[in-house]
């Protein structure tokens, strides 16, 4: 990769976002699980549930602050590194960010203090309300940020205003109820729930293997496996919904995930494994499953899915139309400056083609004079709109494989917990507990892959079809961006190491058992008995 | 939808100018005493327990307070996109330093007491000091630069080019503003420690708060004189302005002019209230810190913060971010906002949620009310920060 401002700014955004997203899924999921456990405590009055909330709450706290700390950067770096982006779309994109602060961050951050320090100052019910407020706040923040991100993927409810040189809102309602945002929201919070569930199941399994904290471990697995199983199903179903939406709005993303070069007759087959060749623009090897892709992406047996080559042809047309809009815009401005009114025909050119204006920007790095661009230049610009297929194709498959494994793992633990057999794993089937411990990192891998496929797959656009990423950066020097990139990497990595070491310290220390006997004999009894005990 | 036309575009711009002020003041009043306490930490706490008294006086509430900062960023993005785009990329390295420092804060609070090791705790105490002192200083320096004008240009596509350098941010006047910001927030933190803690920490808090209040009084007066005398030049719009104009800064003309930042006080004499409150509040806090009228002292300190920040706002009105190299490109209230519809939508969201936020924040403060001293720290040894 070249050391230019665009690449470095992208690298910095990717780095800070991926780091931030190490902490956020766990916060999202744990907050709900803590609130659930505390609800059981308040309903049954059994102290063991309070000790569970306090123990998992300690781990939640260690993780939560880094989510907050790394989140600070997220709020400001659009302005810092993506100045033209901020100017160009702030009218639409800024609002969900501001509402996120107003509606979600205040809620979670104000009540998280009470969660930790309010145990002796609040009644049981008041404290429970505070915990739920934290959980609501955390989940609402995911909603608003995904409304913002959904708009980058599928810019609805807005249009370009040539007077202010930016995108402006035409329907806030459409921005809020953007179908892409809704699908992404449920998919993402479900992924957070799975992450937290496997975190709790894995650590509890470790306690069972060590014969420690059996009472708390057993109950924790029961709650987390049930919640995790439902969430793992939801994450896969809503992932499928995202795929369907992608076919409606981001056909190129779908085609690259699929390494689908040519348009196939419906219903398209699914490439289980492929070796894409970017040079030859073909796959040198592929194992195909018939029908599956057509079903996922179109939910029909008859609709076609366009391949990469066809999409590139479509991009070429849009580039040509974009150039017409760009040319008309220059004429309109020149007339404005001279105080004249421009020809009706020119204004029409602009109005008809303005939705393709972004495609003219796409051509800019390839052609000095847009109006005299050659076919080769247009061809090069159109092909530049195809993301690199390898990471898309395999990133997606790793994520999906993880998703199906989560359904299986949480399903098994849910079944065992429901039939009261979890504790028995200490004696028979210990390998299953080992699997649970070893699976703790997997949801993070899946989450980061998901972020990657969604955002890298949007390239070269920062706003799909509207503004290319290379046009969105700030006027900074390479040194400046390198400095901050190095600074963030050093700072975040140090904090991550400290965070993990503290996590391990408190996991090793374990929960307060409240003087209950350590290892108890294996017992039977279903889910219903777990809460009551 | 035409609902947003219920309120004039120009009125909405004005409302959002006021809300911008409210957000910045909300940040400085709430997170301000956290930063003041953090800056005072090495001075008011000699032993570990004393430092924990100071830290736990803000331990449960700093997190909510910090949201004012994040909301400030979000609201500027939503309501004043060019301001967001130009200021944060222009002040790039300064902004990075602020972020890096502020990132240290949440972690310091949370991790400090997770290990008993004194060198571990000392390290986090310094991180907390840096995370409080550095942002307080840089915010002031940034305001100083805004008053002096920022070297940026805009082309026809409204693409910004910044012509300054990081070290260029530090002028005598901007450093004065930085010191004023630090002393104002230290005074505020001192007043908070007097109110919320007991024992030696409170005594030291009042002592250092007094010094800071005195410094703030002098620096505010000196800064005011430099603006009044024309040493710091102001800006003036020279073209006809339609307050309902579309948000494009290049649609107007402006010039640099000595003492232009004083012009509003003769046009709108009531604006004198802002600097008056700045002086009165600071003076009140200075006197109050010598007494045990803790609530009143803290109220005076809040008033001082309100007055000093409002002074900057009303002096510059309608300018938000003047350009020193292309005055025509300066951002003003009339030409740097979001669209009519976005301003309206955001106002609706604010009217619904801001009162809610204020209500539950007040409730949380009430629940957590009560002084922190060495005895409470020893009692809650395991749960306190």
CB A172 within 8 A of CB B345: yes
**pLDDT at A293 (0 to 100):** 77
Of residues A268 and B71, which shows the higher confidence score? B71
Question: pLDDT digits over A146-200, tens only?
Answer: 999 999 999 999 988 888 999 999 999 999 999 888 888 999 999 999 999 999 9
Smallest Cβ–Cβ distance between B77 and the set A61, A98, A107 belongs to: A98
State the nearest Cα–Cα gap between A393 and chain B, in angstroms.
35
Chain-centroid distance, C-alpha A324:
36
> Is B158 in Cβ contact with A165 (below 8 Å)?
yes
Q: How many CB atoms lie within 10 A of CB B351?
A: 9
Q: Is the pLDDT of residue A531 over 60?
A: no
State the nearest Cα–Cα gap between A373 and chain B, in angstroms.
21
**pLDDT at A525 (0 to 100):** 44
**Which residues 6+ apart lie within 8 Å of A310 measured at CB?**
A262, A263
Q: At residue B230, what are phi and psi to the nearest 5 degrees?
A: 90, 0
State the nearest Cα–Cα gap between B102 and chain A, in angstroms.
8
**Residues 93-122 (B) with a CB less than 8 A from some CB of A:** 93, 95-96, 99-100, 102-107, 109-111, 114-115
Question: pLDDT digits over A279-310, tens only?
Answer: 778 887 878 787 777 777 777 777 778 888 88
**Residues 2-41 (B) with a CB less than 8 A from some CB of A:** none
Which residues in chain A are contacts of B85 at CB distance < 8 A? 79, 83-87, 90
Task: State whether residue B359 sits within 8 Å of chain A by CB.
Answer: no
A277: enclosing H helix or E strand:
strand A270-277
**pLDDT at A516 (0 to 100):** 55
Smallest Cβ–Cβ distance between A171 and the set B1, B64, B105 belongs to: B1
Our CA dihedral for A191, A196, A200, A206, rounded to 10 degrees, sits at 70
Q: Is the pLDDT of residue A275 over 60?
A: yes
**pLDDT at B272 (0 to 100):** 95
**Residues 65-84 (B) with a CB less than 8 A from some CB of A:** 66-67, 69-71, 73-79, 81-82, 84
pLDDT band (50, 70, 90) for residue A257: confident
Query: Percentages helix, strand, coil for chain A, rounded to the nearest 5?
Result: 75, 5, 20
- The sign of the CA dihedral B71, B77, B79, B85 is positive
**pLDDT at B88 (0 to 100):** 94
**Which residues 6+ apart lie within 8 Å of A132 measured at CB?**
A35
CB B200 within 8 A of CB B50: yes
Q: Alpha-carbon distance A234 to A360, whole Å?
A: 40
Smallest Cβ–Cβ distance between B346 and the set A95, A133, A163 belongs to: A95
Task: State whether residue B363 sits within 8 Å of chain A by CB.
Answer: no
Inter-helix orientation angle A124-153/A5-44, to 10°: 150
Averaged over A226-245, what is the pLDDT?
84
* C-alpha closest to that of A421 among A433, A435, A406, A405: A433
* 3-class DSSP state of A385: coil
> Is A106 in Cβ contact with B64 (below 8 Å)?
yes
Which residues in chain A are contacts of B19 at CB distance < 8 A? none
**pLDDT at A422 (0 to 100):** 84
Which residues in chain B are contacts of A161 at CB distance < 8 A? 246, 339
Q: Is the pLDDT of residue A269 over 90?
A: no
Task: State whether residue B341 sits within 8 Å of chain A by CB.
Answer: yes
Q: Alpha-carbon distance B67 to B63, whole Å?
A: 7
Which residues in chain A are contacts of B162 at CB distance < 8 A? 475-476
Q: What percent of chain A has pLDDT over 90?
A: 58
Interface test with B, best of A70, A147, A159, A165 (most B CBs within 10 A): A165
**pLDDT at A518 (0 to 100):** 46
What mean pLDDT value characterizes chain A? 88
Full-model pTM: 0.92
Task: State whether residue B161 sits within 8 Å of chain A by CB.
Answer: yes
**Which residues 6+ apart lie within 8 Å of A401 measured at CB?**
none
Task: State whether residue B168 sits within 8 Å of chain A by CB.
Answer: no
User: Both tokens of residue A321?
Assistant: 């139309």
Q: What percent of chain A has pLDDT over 70?
A: 95
Smallest Cβ–Cβ distance between A113 and the set B61, B77, B92 belongs to: B61
Task: State whether residue B299 sits within 8 Å of chain A by CB.
Answer: no
- The sign of the CA dihedral A187, A193, A198, A199 is positive
Q: Is the pLDDT of residue A533 over 50?
A: no
Domain range list for chain B: 27-379
For residue B255, list its beta bridge partners.
B236
**pLDDT at A532 (0 to 100):** 47
Quote ipTM for the complex.
Answer: 0.92
**What residue in B sits closest to A471 (Cα-Cα)?**
B159
**pLDDT at A291 (0 to 100):** 75
Interface test with B, best of A125, A164, A486, A495 (most B CBs within 10 A): A164
> Is B247 in Cβ contact with A484 (below 8 Å)?
no
**pLDDT at A294 (0 to 100):** 77
User: Both tokens of residue A325?
Assistant: 């809009």
Walking along chain B (385 residues) 10 residues at a time, the average pLDDT comes out as 82 95 95 95 93 91 91 94 94 94 92 91 94 96 96 92 92 96 97 94 95 97 94 93 90 91 94 96 96 94 97 95 95 95 95 95 91 86 80
**pLDDT at A344 (0 to 100):** 85
Q: Is the pLDDT of residue A517 over 70?
A: no
Chain-centroid distance, C-alpha A488:
21
Q: At residue B338, what are phi and psi to the nearest 5 degrees?
A: -75, 180
> Is B85 in Cβ contact with A79 (below 8 Å)?
yes
CB B33 within 8 A of CB B188: yes
Q: Alpha-carbon distance A54 to A61, whole Å?
A: 10
> Is A119 in Cβ contact with B383 (below 8 Å)?
yes
Interface test with A, best of B16, B89, B135, B354 (most A CBs within 10 A): B89
Q: At residue A510, what are phi and psi to the nearest 5 degrees?
A: 80, 170
Q: Is the pLDDT of residue A521 over 70?
A: no
**pLDDT at B1 (0 to 100):** 53
Inter-helix orientation angle A47-81/A214-249, to 10°: 30
pLDDT band (50, 70, 90) for residue A61: very high
- β B152-154/B160-162 pair status: antiparallel
* C-alpha closest to that of B32 among B176, B209, B284, B173: B209
| Lookup result for tokens 């609501």 | A136
Q: Is the pLDDT of residue A246 over 70?
A: no
pLDDT band (50, 70, 90) for residue A515: low
């Amino acid at each position: 990769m070249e050391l230019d401002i665009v690449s470095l700014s992208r690298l910095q955004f990717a780095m800070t976002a991926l780091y931030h997203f190490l902490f956020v899924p766990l916060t999202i999921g744990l907050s709900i699980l803590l609130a659930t456990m505390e609800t059981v405590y308040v309903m049954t009055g059994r102290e063991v549930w309070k000790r569970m909330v306090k123990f998992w709450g300690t781990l939640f706290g260690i993780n939560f602050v880094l989510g907050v700390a790394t989140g600070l950067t997220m709020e400001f770096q659009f302005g810092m590194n993506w100045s033209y982006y901020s100017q160009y779309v702030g009218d639409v994109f800024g609002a969900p960010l501001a509402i996120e602060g107003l509606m979600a961050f205040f809620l979670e951050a104000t009540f998280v203090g009470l969660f930790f320090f309010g145990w002796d100052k609040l009644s049981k019910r008041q404290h429970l309300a505070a915990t739920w407020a934290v959980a609501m706040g955390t989940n609402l923040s995911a909603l608003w940020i995904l409304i913002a991100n959904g708009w980058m993927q599928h810019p609805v409810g807005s249009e370009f205003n040539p007077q202010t040189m930016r995108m402006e809102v035409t329907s806030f309602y459409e921005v809020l109820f953007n179908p892409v945002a809704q699908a992404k929201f449920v998919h993402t919070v479900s992924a957070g729930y799975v992450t937290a569930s496997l975190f709790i199941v894995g650590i509890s399994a470790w306690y069972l293997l060590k014969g420690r904290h059996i009472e708390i471990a057993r109950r924790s697995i029961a709650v987390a496996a049930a919640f995790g199983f439902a969430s793992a199903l939801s994450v896969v179903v809503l992932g499928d919904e995202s795929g369907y939406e992608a076919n409606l709005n981001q056909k190129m993303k779908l085609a690259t995930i699929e390494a689908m070069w040519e348009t196939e007759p419906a219903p398209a087959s699914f490439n289980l494994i492929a070796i894409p060749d970017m040079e030859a623009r073909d796959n040198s090897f592929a194992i195909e499953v018939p029908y599956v892709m057509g079903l996922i992406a179109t939910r029909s047996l008859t609709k076609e899915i366009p391949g990469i080559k066809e999409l590139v042809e479509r991009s070429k047309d849009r580039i040509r139309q974009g150039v017409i809009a760009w040319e008309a815009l220059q004429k309109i401005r020149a007339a404005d400056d001279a105080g004249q009114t421009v020809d009706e025909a020119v204004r029409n050119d602009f109005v008809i083609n303005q939705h393709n204006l972004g495609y003219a920007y796409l051509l800019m790095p390839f052609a000095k004079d847009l109006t005299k661009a050659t076919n080769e230049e247009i061809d090069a610009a159109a092909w530049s709109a195809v993301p690199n297929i390898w990471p898309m194709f395999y990133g997606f498959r790793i994520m999906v494989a993880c998703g199906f494994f989560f359904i299986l793992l949480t399903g098994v633990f849910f079944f065992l917990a429901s039939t009261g057999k979890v504790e028995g794993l200490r004696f028979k089937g210990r390998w299953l507990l080992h699997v649970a411990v070893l699976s703790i990192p997997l949801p993070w891998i899946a989450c980061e892959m998901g972020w990657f496929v969604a955002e890298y797959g949007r390239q070269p656009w920062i706003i799909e079809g509207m503004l290319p990423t290379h046009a969105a950066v700030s006027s900074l020097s390479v040194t400046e961006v390198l400095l901050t990139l190095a600074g963030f990497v050093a700072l975040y990595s140090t904090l991550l190491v400290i965070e993990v070491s503290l996590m391990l310290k408190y996991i090793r220390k374990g929960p307060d058992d409240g003087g209950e006997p350590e290892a108890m004999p294996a017992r039977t009894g279903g889910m219903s008995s777990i809460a009551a005990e | 939808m035409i609902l947003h036309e219920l309120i004039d575009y120009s009125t909405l711009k004005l409302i959002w100018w006021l809300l911008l002020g409210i957000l910045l003041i909300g940040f400085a009043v709430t997170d301000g005493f956290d930063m003041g306490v953090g800056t005072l930490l090495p001075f008011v706490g000699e032993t570990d327990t004393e430092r924990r008294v100071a830290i736990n006086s803000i331990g449960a509430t700093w997190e909510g307070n910090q949201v004012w900062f994040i909301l400030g960023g979000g609201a500027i993005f939503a309501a004043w996109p060019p301001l967001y785009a130009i200021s944060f990329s222009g002040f790039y390295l300064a902004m990075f330093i602020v972020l890096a420092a502020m990132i240290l804060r949440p972690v310091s609070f949370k991790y400090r007491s997770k290990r008993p090791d004194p060198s571990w705790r000392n390290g986090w105490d310094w991180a907390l000091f840096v995370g409080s002192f550095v942002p307080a200083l840089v915010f002031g320096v940034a305001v100083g630069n805004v008053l002096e004008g920022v070297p940026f240009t805009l082309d026809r596509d409204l693409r910004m080019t910044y012509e300054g350098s990081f070290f260029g941010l530090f002028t005598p006047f901007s450093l004065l503003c930085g010191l004023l910001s630090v002393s104002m927030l230290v005074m505020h933190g001192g007043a908070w420690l007097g109110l919320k803690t007991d024992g030696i920490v409170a005594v030291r808090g009042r002592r250092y708060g007094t010094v800071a209040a005195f410094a703030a009084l002098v620096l505010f007066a000196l800064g005011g004189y430099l603006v009044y005398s024309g040493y710091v030049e102001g800006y003036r719009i020279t073209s006809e302005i339609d307050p309902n104009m579309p948000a494009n800064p290049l649609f107007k003309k402006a010039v640099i002019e000595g003492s232009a930042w004083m012009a509003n006080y003769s046009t709108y004499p009531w604006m004198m209230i802002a600097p008056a409150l700045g002086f009165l509040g600071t003076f009140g806090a200075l006197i109050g810190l010598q007494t045990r009228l803790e609530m009143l002292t803290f109220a005076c300190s809040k008033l001082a913060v309100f007055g000093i920040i409002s002074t900057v706002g009303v002096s510059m009105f309608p300018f938000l971010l003047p350009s020193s190299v292309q005055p025509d490109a300066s951002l003003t209230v009339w030409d740097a906002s979001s669209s009519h519809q976005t301003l309206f939508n955001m106002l609706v969201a604010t009217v619904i949620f801001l009162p809610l936020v204020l209500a539950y924040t007040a409730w949380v403060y009430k629940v957590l009310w009560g002084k922190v001293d060495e005895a409470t720290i020893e009692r809650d040894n395991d749960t306190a920060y």
